[in-house]
Chains A and B, each alone.
Chain A
Amino acid sequence: MLVQIATSAAILGTVSEAEAQHVHHETAAAAAKPAAYKAKAFTAAEEKNLRVLLELACPGSASKGGAFEFIDLLSSNNDELKAIFTGGLAWVDNDCEKRFGNSNGFAALKPEEQTKFLDLIAYRENFAQDSTLGPGIKFFDWARRMAVDAYYTSPAGIKELGYKGNKGMSEFKVPKASMDYAMRGMSE
């Protein structure tokens, strides 16, 4: 499975957005299978659904960024956070059943159904057209925020973002290419 994820990541640069989305669904499915980790705050079903949701919200967050474990740890020590996630996941399951007639949870939806559903709850303005989406939009805001936090504070995410520091240096210098770029349009 690790090999598959690595391959998927490698080809992302050359594929279309639709194809990339398909790859993400594969990765999401991979992320949905917990390895040796034992969840502290969530049931097995909740874990499965949350892993897939996180991976779609921020690709790499569940598979490489430890996002599920991060949220699980914090939820196990904070009832308010736990309720946000258990409540949100239950709402998602319930709403998905209404929309797609599938009562097996978000992770069991077809990839195109997952995409369709995320297109609804990932944007605040959809609330104006459909006020029943309120709880989902609010929940996804939390899931996205924490998926992103987890991913970009993980080794994989830090590398992808490109942060080059935290190592110290004997002399501070700005590379010429960066300085020249930053000074475009500024006349001294």
Chain B
Amino acid sequence: MPQVIRSPKVHDVVVIGSGAGGGTVTKVLADMGVKVTLMEAGPMLNPAKDYKEHMWPFQVPHRGAGDDARFYFGNPYPFGYFLAPNGYWQIPGEPYTTGPDSKFMWFRSRILGGRTNHYGRITLRFADYDFKPYSTDGLGDDWPITYEDIAPYYDKAEEFIGVTGTKEGIRSAPDGIFQPCPPPRAHERRMQVACKTLGIPCIPSRLAIITKNHNGRAACHYCGQCGRGCITASNYSSSQVQIMPAMKTGNVTLMTGAMARELITDASGKVVAVSYIDKATRTERQIRCRTVVLAASALESTRLLLNSKSARHRDGLANGSGVVGKYLTDSVGFSMRAHVPALQGMPIYDSDGMGGMHVYVPWWEWAKKNKDFPRGYHIEIGGGFGMPSIGGFTGVCSRNQGYGEKLKNAIKADYGTWVGLAGRGEMIPNEGTYAEIDPNVVDQYGIPVLKFHFKWTDHEYKMVDHMERTFKAMLEGIGGTVQVTPGDAKKKISLGGEIIHELGTVRMGNDPNKSALNKYCQAHEVKNLFVADAAPFVSNPDKNPTLTICALAWRTSEYLAEEMRKGNV
């Protein structure tokens, strides 16, 4: 490695990563007058240029297939060509590896805002019992905080970013501060009625989308393209909703193209500098810091800690307990679709709406005894008259074959008649699922990469069986024709990492021998080191993690600012 360039300035708070966690920390601290240096491995975001919102497929000659036809050859753009930048399952020059018999997918986004530029905007509070999993069923561990500890921060996060919903009084889906939710689409209304017959709740969605003007942001215009990035910032992305406004305070220094490599500690064990690669010049640099907040995503933060080895920290920084990298989980994923003949011939309408479903099913059997699997899942509903896209007709062509006007009539008759369900459930941490540093592989910057080990257990397989039975009943309840795929749950469950809710690898807890962080997400062993992504989570409930990342990061930021004021860090 060439000579390291060190800057003499000491930065008050260096935040590494600009997604939901880093964005929240940056916003909260900047508003409190604290100087923040935000380090992002990717480039700056320019929504007007980078987002492909409202673009028709015919506006690019390859229609979304890629000039090299990648769509047709098993290497498509993840979630489509029109998705907001820069999310990839594989980044050239930045590999990851897997252990024998393990499959794991890792979705990374290197750009200001990270994965919040294109995520699903599903914004759910954890339930009270989600913080006490061990006390509830004897599996896993309890969190060091309760619902009451985090509730005020759920309030703050929801109020600030804007979340749709309705007060329902359901224990598994605690009510929050909600913006009005638009009415259900036609197939969603049909599903609501079917669910009522089955005794399953199906309630207005909780999405990080504003339906009224809010904090200088325009209300949603219902184009259904949240995943492409929203030029009017009507949905939550940390880039547009938190970081860009925070930069106007004058308290934020943004460093892009800065790939953190290692945290440097002094003899007292405190972090004194962050070593990073400046991608533009391919040079290694260091900036000095008073405190550091890791928000690089659960697994990048884990990698950074494990790579911060020294004579004092042989197993990586903040890892005296040895838990860093362990307790990795992702959500359990399973989906099913059905053709619904009753929808055929419906007068076509503009069903774009919010980007995502307008109603969803929260978990409903939290009080049920004698289930054959622990915990639960929620259900997402898809359907409607979507914007035509390449690949969208492959199924109907394959089923009908033929050609000409007859084929076209079949395609038109099929349009808008499919309804899909996707389950997202809780995985129990297990010993066979963890991340470690691969001793043999480095990325293009010379940084050792992560190696993943991943296993599902019967807990998850039995949950998938339950999803399959339930989804079939729901889809048949709306008159759908379901073709159940043969084979058992092992073949039907999602791959590890595929649902992109990977977390838990730098867990918080009250016992320094069993956790890396205290209840404020401050490292037990390194007082000026905090973690503000999903790495601190003790469990992975059936509620998408983003809102809890924001709430925890908000709480950690206030704690950090107060500790700085007191001179403790």
- Is the Cβ of A174 less than 8 Å from the Cβ of B403? no
A182–B479 Cα gap in the complex (Å)? 11
Number of CB contacts from chain A to chain B under 8 A: 188
Answer whether residue B322 sits at the interface, using C-beta atoms and an 8 A cutoff: no
- Is the Cβ of A173 less than 8 Å from the Cβ of B183? yes
A171–B221 Cα gap in the complex (Å)? 7
A81–B552 Cα gap in the complex (Å)? 49
- Is the Cβ of A77 less than 8 Å from the Cβ of B61? no
A175–B184 Cα gap in the complex (Å)? 12
Q: What residues on A are CB-neighbors of B389 within 8 Å?
A: 153
- Is the Cβ of A152 less than 8 Å from the Cβ of B350? no
Task: Write the nearest CB–CB distance from A116 to chain B, whole angstroms.
Answer: 12
Per DSSP, are chain B's interface residues mostly helix, strand or loop, or mixed?
loop
A124–B402 Cα gap in the complex (Å)? 9
Answer whether residue B11 sits at the interface, using C-beta atoms and an 8 A cutoff: no
Within 8 A of B (CB), among A122-172: 122-124, 140, 144-146, 148-150, 152-155, 157-158, 160-172
At the interface with chain A, which of B17-25, B407-415, B521-529, B541-549?
A: B407-415
Q: What residues on B are CB-neighbors of A153 within 8 Å?
A: 56-58, 63-64, 388-390
> Closest residue of chain B to A150, judged by CB?
B63
> Closest residue of chain A to B61, judged by CB?
A73
> Closest residue of chain B to A187, judged by CB?
B193
Task: Write the nearest CB–CB distance from A81 to chain B, whole angstroms.
Answer: 5
Answer whether residue B138 sits at the interface, using C-beta atoms and an 8 A cutoff: no
> Closest residue of chain A to B225, judged by CB?
A166
A162–B407 Cα gap in the complex (Å)? 16
- Is the Cβ of B62 less than 8 Å from the Cβ of A70? yes
A149-B393, A152-B393 given; A81·B72 CB < 8 A: yes
Q: What residues on B are CB-neighbors of A165 within 8 Å?
A: 223-224, 350-352, 385, 387
Q: What residues on A are CB-neighbors of B56 within 8 Å?
A: 153, 155, 158, 166
Task: Write the nearest CB–CB distance from A12 to chain B, whole angstroms.
Answer: 7
Q: What residues on A are CB-neighbors of B402 within 8 Å?
A: 122-123
| A150, A157, A179, A185: the one within 8 Å of B479 (CB) | A185
- Is the Cβ of B415 less than 8 Å from the Cβ of A161? yes
Q: What residues on B are CB-neighbors of A3 within 8 Å?
A: none
- Is the Cβ of B186 less than 8 Å from the Cβ of A182? yes
Task: Write the nearest CB–CB distance from A24 to chain B, whole angstroms.
Answer: 6
Answer whether residue B217 sits at the interface, using C-beta atoms and an 8 A cutoff: no
- Is the Cβ of B58 less than 8 Å from the Cβ of A80? no
Within 8 A of B (CB), among A50-74: 56-59, 66, 69-70, 73-74
Task: Write the nearest CB–CB distance from A69 to chain B, whole angstroms.
Answer: 7
Answer whether residue B405 sits at the interface, using C-beta atoms and an 8 A cutoff: yes
- Is the Cβ of A57 less than 8 Å from the Cβ of B353? no
- Is the Cβ of B68 less than 8 Å from the Cβ of A124? no
A77-B69, A162-B415, A174-B349 given; A183·B387 CB < 8 A: no
Answer whether residue B187 sits at the interface, using C-beta atoms and an 8 A cutoff: yes
Within 8 A of B (CB), among A21-72: 21, 24, 56-59, 66, 69-70
Within 8 A of A (CB), among B475-508: 478-479
Q: What residues on B are CB-neighbors of A160 within 8 Å?
A: 408, 412
> Closest residue of chain A to B70, judged by CB?
A78
A122-B403, A182-B187, A188-B193 given; A168·B223 CB < 8 A: yes
- Is the Cβ of B350 less than 8 Å from the Cβ of A164? yes
Answer whether residue B391 sits at the interface, using C-beta atoms and an 8 A cutoff: yes
A69-B61, A148-B393 given; A178·B223 CB < 8 A: no
- Is the Cβ of B403 less than 8 Å from the Cβ of A144? yes
| B73, B193, B406, B407: the one within 8 Å of A80 (CB) | B73
A170–B557 Cα gap in the complex (Å)? 37
At the interface with chain A, which of B252-260, B340-348, B361-369?
A: B340-348
Q: What residues on A are CB-neighbors of B63 within 8 Å?
A: 70, 149-150, 153
What are the interface flags for B379-419 relative to A under an 8 Å C-beta threshold, 1 for contact and 0 otherwise?
00000011111111110010001111111100110010000
Q: What residues on A are CB-neighbors of B349 within 8 Å?
A: 164, 174-175, 178
A73-B61, A155-B58, A182-B346 given; A169·B221 CB < 8 A: yes
A163-B387, A181-B346 given; A70·B61 CB < 8 A: yes
Task: Write the nearest CB–CB distance from A18 to chain B, whole angstroms.
Answer: 11
Q: Which of B183, B221, B397, B403 has the most CB of A within 10 A?
A: B403
A144-B397, A166-B352 given; A179·B189 CB < 8 A: yes
Q: What residues on B are CB-neighbors of A78 within 8 Å?
A: 68-69, 73
A28–B533 Cα gap in the complex (Å)? 58
- Is the Cβ of A74 less than 8 Å from the Cβ of B65? yes
| B73, B354, B358, B387: the one within 8 Å of A166 (CB) | B387
Q: What residues on B are CB-neighbors of A155 within 8 Å?
A: 56, 58
A56–B402 Cα gap in the complex (Å)? 10
Q: What residues on A are CB-neighbors of B269 within 8 Å?
A: none
Task: Write the nearest CB–CB distance from B375 to chain A, whole angstroms.
Answer: 31
> Closest residue of chain B to A80, judged by CB?
B73
A11–B222 Cα gap in the complex (Å)? 36
A69–B358 Cα gap in the complex (Å)? 38
Q: What residues on B are CB-neighbors of A170 within 8 Å?
A: 221
- Is the Cβ of A168 less than 8 Å from the Cβ of B221? yes
A25–B334 Cα gap in the complex (Å)? 46
Task: Write the nearest CB–CB distance from B77 to chain A, whole angstroms.
Answer: 14
Q: What residues on A are CB-neighbors of B64 within 8 Å?
A: 153
- Is the Cβ of B385 less than 8 Å from the Cβ of A163? yes
Q: What residues on B are CB-neighbors of A174 within 8 Å?
A: 183-186, 189, 349, 351
- Is the Cβ of A59 less than 8 Å from the Cβ of B73? no
- Is the Cβ of A175 less than 8 Å from the Cβ of B223? no
> Closest residue of chain B to A81, judged by CB?
B69
Task: Write the nearest CB–CB distance from A78 to chain B, whole angstroms.
Answer: 4
Q: Which residues of B line the A interface, CB within 8 A?
A: 54, 56-58, 61-65, 67-69, 72-73, 182-187, 189-190, 193-194, 196, 221-225, 342-343, 345-354, 358, 385-394, 397, 401-408, 411-412, 415, 478-479
19 extra A-B contacts, CB within 8 A, seeds A161-B388, A163-B388:
A24-B405, A70-B65, A74-B67, A74-B72, A124-B401, A153-B58, A153-B389, A163-B385, A164-B350, A165-B223, A166-B225, A171-B222, A173-B183, A178-B349, A179-B186, A179-B189, A183-B186, A186-B193, A186-B194
The 4 closest A-B pairs by CB, nearest first: A182-B186, A168-B221, A153-B57, A165-B352
